[in-house]
Amino acid sequence: MANPLFDTLFAAHAGKKSVFLHLADGSTRSYDAFLGQVARFANALAAMGLEPGDRLAAQIDKSPEALAVYGACVQAGVVFLPLNTAYTAEEVSYFVENSGARVFLCDGARSENLKAVADKAGARLETLNANGTGSFFDLSAVQPDHFKTVDRDGDDLAAFLYTSGTTGRSKGAMLTQTNLLSNAQTLAKAWRFNSDDVLLHALPIFHTHGLFVATNITLVAGGSIIFLPKFDLDAMFGWMPRATTMMGVPTFYTRLLGDARLTAEAVAHMRLFVSGSAPLLAETHREFTDRTGHAILERYGMTETNMNTSNPYEGERLAGTVGFPLPGIELVITDPATGRELPQGEIGQIEVRGPNVFKGYWQMPEKTAEELRENGFFITGDLGLIDDRGYVQIVGRNKDLIISGGYNIYPKEIELLLDDQPGVLESAVIGVPHPDFGESVIGVLVAKDGDTIDSDAIKAAIGSSLARFKQPQRLVVVNELPRNAMGKVQKAQLRETYKGTFAK
C-alpha cells in the first residue's frame, strides 16, 4: 500500500534543498524544510488522536504553515477542510458541525470568538497564526520531523470543500486522492509545468484555485512558488520579474490592466498567465494581449470537479471560450429538461465525467443523486455550447449564483436573512455587472403593508451573520417584485433594471 497523493506531491521531494516557497519578506522555504514541518504537523495530528478519515477544519490565514497543515492531513490520512477567512462565526459553525470535524484550527485572534463554535460541534480548538505561531505549532514543535505516512487508496477522501446550494444550505463536496492527483498531473502536463517554473501566487488557499490548481501543479512539477499573502499590485509588479507563471481570477487581470506598470517589459520573464473561477471578458483578454503580447489561457472548473476544460498551451487561446475538455475528461451538452445530449453548437447544460469528478456531497445522498448521474456524469449547472472547432463556451448558468471577484455567492442564503428583517415582506438578491469584481450583489426588498424599511439597520443587522463579500453593496426598496404567470420572481428582469448600478 501507499499514499498516492502524498507520495507524488510531497514525498517525491524529500531531501531536496531547492526552494519551494519564496515568501513576501524575501525569505525562502526549501522543500526539505517544508516537508519537515509537514511531518511534525502530521505527528501532532496523530498525537491528538486523529485517525485516517477524520476531518480537520481550518480557518487560518495564508502562510507556509497553513500549507503544511494541508500536507500533514494528506500524510496522516486526515480529510482537510479549509474555510474562507472572511466567514463569520455563524457561517463557520455550520461547516464545523456538519463535517463532524474533530479538530478546528483558527487564528489566535479569533479563538475567543470561535471557542463556542468548536465546543458546540464537539471539536478540539487549536490555533495557528499568520506568522506560524500558535498552540498547534507548539504541539508540533516537540514532534520529530519524520512521520510514517498513512496508507491510502486513490478512492479515499483527501478534502472536503463546502459549496453553497440553491437552497441556501452548503454542501460538503467530498474529494478523493484520485480527484486531486489526476487533475494536478493532467494540468501540469497540459500547461507544461516543470521544475524551473516559478508561480506567482496571490490567491487564497482555501479554495480549489489557489490550493489544488496552483499548489498541486507546482508540487507535481517540483517548481517553486512566490507565496504572497494576498493580491496587492505593488507586490505583484515587484515579484513579476522573478516569476514564470501566474494564475488568477479575472479581477487580477482587470486590476493589472488598470495599472500603467503593466507593460511587455514588466512580464518579459513570464511564459504563462492562467485565468479562471469566473468569466474573463473577451475585452480583457484582448486588452491584455495588446499590452503584453500574452494571450491569457482561460480554463473552467468547479469545486466538485477540479478543472474540466482548458484553452490550449500550443494553439489558439480563444477569447470568450474555456477551451477543450482536458485529456481523460468527457464533456457533453444536454437538454436540461430531458437530459438528452444535444448536437454540437446547441446551448444546453454542461455535464462532465472523469477521474476529476468528486464522490458526492457529505451526508446528502439525495442532493448527490440530483447532480451526479448514475453513469458518472456530473451536472454542473452551467449553460454552454461546443462550437464548430470544439471550443467550449459558457453562456450562462442554470443555477442562481453570483460570482464576485471569484467568490461564489448564493442569493438564497442572503434572501433568507433579508426576509427575516423587520418590515421586509420578501426579497430578491441579484448579481449585476461590476467593473472590479465582475459581478456585485444587490438586494431588492419589498416592505410589508404599512411598514417602512430601514436599509441601514438591515445592513448592520446582517453584518454579523454574513461574510463581508456576500453582503449586498446596495439595497433597493420596490413596491413589488416582477413575477411571471407561474408567480416566479423574474430575476433576469431585475438584473436588466439594475445593470448600470456600478457602471464605470
List residues near ligand AMP by CB under 6 A: 163, 208, 276-279, 298, 300-303, 322, 380-382, 394, 397, 403, 408
Does residue 186 belong to the site contacting ligand MCA (CB under 6 A)? no
Of 186, 356, 404, 427, the residue at the interface with ligand MCA (CB under 6 A) is: 404
# of chain residues touching ligand MCA (CB under 6 A): 22
Of 59, 185, 208, 284, the residue at the interface with ligand MCA (CB under 6 A) is: 208
Nearer to ligand AMP, 4 or 276 (CB): 276
Q: What are phi and psi of 142, to 5 degrees?
A: -90, 0
In three state form, how does the secondary structure of 73-95 look? HHHHCCEEEECCCCCCHHHHHHH
Whose cell is 439595497? That residue is 475
User: What is the spatial distance between Cα 441 and Cα 445, in angstroms, rounded to a whole number?
Assistant: 13
Does residue 230 belong to the site contacting ligand MCA (CB under 6 A)? yes
Does residue 321 belong to the site contacting ligand MCA (CB under 6 A)? no
Helix (H) or strand (E) holding 381: strand 378-386
Does residue 354 belong to the site contacting ligand MCA (CB under 6 A)? no
Cβ atoms < 10 Å from Cβ of 335: 13
- Closest Cα partner for 397 from 339, 341, 336, 440? 336
The listed partner (ligand MCA, ligand AMP, none) that binds 298, CB under 5 to 8 Å by sort, is ligand AMP
Shortest reach from residue 305's CB to ligand AMP, in Å:
8
Nearer to ligand MCA, 98 or 277 (CB): 277
| DSSP characters over 410-454 | -HHHHHHHHHTSTTEEEEEEEEEEETTTEEEEEEEEEEPTT----
Does residue 469 belong to the site contacting ligand MCA (CB under 6 A)? yes
Does residue 204 belong to the site contacting ligand MCA (CB under 6 A)? yes
Q: What are phi and psi of 449, to 5 degrees?
A: -50, 125
CB 15 within 8 A of CB 32: yes
Nearer to ligand MCA, 288 or 437 (CB): 437
For ligand AMP, which residue has the nearest CB? 303
User: What is the spatial distance between Cα 313 and Cα 295, in angstroms, rounded to a whole number?
Assistant: 10
Does residue 302 belong to the site contacting ligand MCA (CB under 6 A)? yes
List Cα–Cα distances, 147 to 4, 40, 72, in angstroms: 16, 7, 9
User: What is the spatial distance between Cα 479 and Cα 446, in angstroms, rounded to a whole number?
Assistant: 6
Cβ atoms < 10 Å from Cβ of 320: 17
3-state secondary structure at position 98: helix
Nearer to ligand AMP, 220 or 296 (CB): 296
Torsional sign, CA 139, 143, 148, 149: positive
Does residue 319 belong to the site contacting ligand MCA (CB under 6 A)? no
The listed partner (ligand AMP, ligand MCA, none) that binds 380, CB under 5 to 8 Å by sort, is ligand AMP
Shortest reach from residue 42's CB to ligand MCA, in Å:
26
Does residue 411 belong to the site contacting ligand MCA (CB under 6 A)? no
| DSSP characters over 199-210 | EEE-S-SSSHII
The listed partner (ligand AMP, ligand MCA, none) that binds 163, CB under 5 to 8 Å by sort, is ligand AMP
Q: C-alpha cell of 387?
A: 462550437
Does residue 140 belong to the site contacting ligand MCA (CB under 6 A)? no
Interface positions, 421-460, toward ligand MCA (CB under 6 A): 437
CB 280 within 8 A of CB 262: no
Does residue 468 belong to the site contacting ligand MCA (CB under 6 A)? yes
Chain CA centroid to CA 459, Å: 26
For ligand MCA, which residue has the nearest CB? 405
- Which of the ranges 18-26, 189-197, 202-210, 494-502 carries the binding residues for ligand MCA, by CB under 6 A? 202-210
Shortest reach from residue 49's CB to ligand MCA, in Å:
32
The listed partner (ligand MCA, ligand AMP, none) that binds 322, CB under 5 to 8 Å by sort, is ligand AMP
By the criterion CB under 6 A, which residues form the site for ligand MCA? 203-204, 207-210, 230-231, 249, 251, 276-277, 301-303, 404-407, 437, 468-469
